[in-house]
Structures are given as structure tokens and as C-alpha cells.
Amino acid sequence: MTSALRHIPNIITVVRVLLVIPTAWCLVEGHYVEALVLMAIAGASDAVDGWLARRFDWVSWFGAALDPLADKILVGVLFITMTVEGVLPLWVAGIAIGRDLLILAGATIYRLLFKHIEFAPTLLSKANTAMQIVVLLVLLLSLCGFERLSPIASAIADPYGFWLVSALAIVSGADYVVAWSRRAAAESTADSQRGAPR
């Protein structure tokens, strides 16, 4: 029974990935309340699966790899969909998605050069993803047409939410570039020393 329960965080993560399609569809069709509910469920599931994995030591390699990927799929698809629908400025989506593509390219190059990589999200990266989810929720709330809440949400998302998401994307992306550049330099030095004649 215990061995079966330890898969719960992974199941929740997979469900979060599956929620991407109906959430994007609701957004395209103009069902903003439904999209907001699905996005809220997806965002909450991110916290729940992480808490369960830590609390009961249900940590797995699969979950550690899939969890950040699920977040990126959710955020990336919604950023693209909202940009196409004219809800989100292209420059915001460009910065956010460009940051992830830069990190992916860097990780790929590092893997090719040094054959191994241990990739774990930093605190800045986690804050970046969390802020993206919050801003997406606020932006969806602004579209729902609620008499009192939607205008407030709209004023928060644009411009403050857009600025904050973009700033965090740039800072966290730069942090990755600096950290992994230093690590690559250290690996290169170590490889040179190992290959040097004694």
C-alpha cells in the first residue's frame, strides 16, 4: 500500500500536464471563469505534490524531472495562447519563453561537453515560476468580467505583473547563466588537470 501511495505526487504532476489542453481551450473559446478554475487547480496541485513528496519522502527521479517540466509546459502554453489571443503583450511572453529556451540550450551544450548534469531549480527559478502562475491567474481574473474584482486584477496585471514577471525572468535567467558558466569553467579545469601528464 505504501509503495502505491508514493506515486501520488507523480500522478498529480501528470494531471497538471493534462490540464493544459482544456485550460488553453477554455481561454481560446472565451470561457474565462472555467479557465481560471482549471488554472487555479493546476497551480494548487504544484504546491500539493511538492508538499506530499517532501512530507512523506515520496521523492523520485521521475517526479523531480517532471515537476518543473510540467510547470513550464503549463506556463508556456498559456503564455503563447494569451499572446495569440491579444491578452498578453508579445514582449512579456518573449522574455519568459526566451529565458527558458536559453537555459535549455545551455543545459544541452553543457550535457554534450561534460556528459553529466545535475539540474535542480534554484530559489530564484522557483520564485520566477510561482510569479508567472500568479500573474496568469490575475490576468485570467481580469478577463472574467467580475464587477469588482476584474478591474482591480486588470490594474495589477498590467503593468505591474508584466514588469515583475519580466524582471524575474531576466534575473533568474542571468543567475543560471552565471552559475553554470562558472561550473563549466570548473569542470573544464578539472578535466584538463585529469588529462595532464604527471
Cα 94 from chain centroid (whole Å):
14
Question: In the prediction, which pLDDT does 151 show?
Answer: 96
Q: Give the pLDDT confidence of 149-170 residue by residue, as tens digits.
A: 999 999 999 999 999 999 999 9
Each domain of the chain, given as residue ranges in start order, spans: 2-195
pLDDT beneath 50: ranges in the chain: 196-198
- Return the closest-CA partner of residue 74 out of 51, 100, 48: 100
Domain 2-195 has CATH 1.20.120: yes
Residue written as grid cell 506556463: 75
**The three cell numbers locating residue 3:** 509503495
What is the model's pTM?
0.87
| Opening angle at CA 98, ends 97 and 103, nearest 5 | 100
pLDDT value of residue 195: 63
Q: What is the DSSP letter of 157?
A: I
| pLDDT confidence of residue 115 | 66
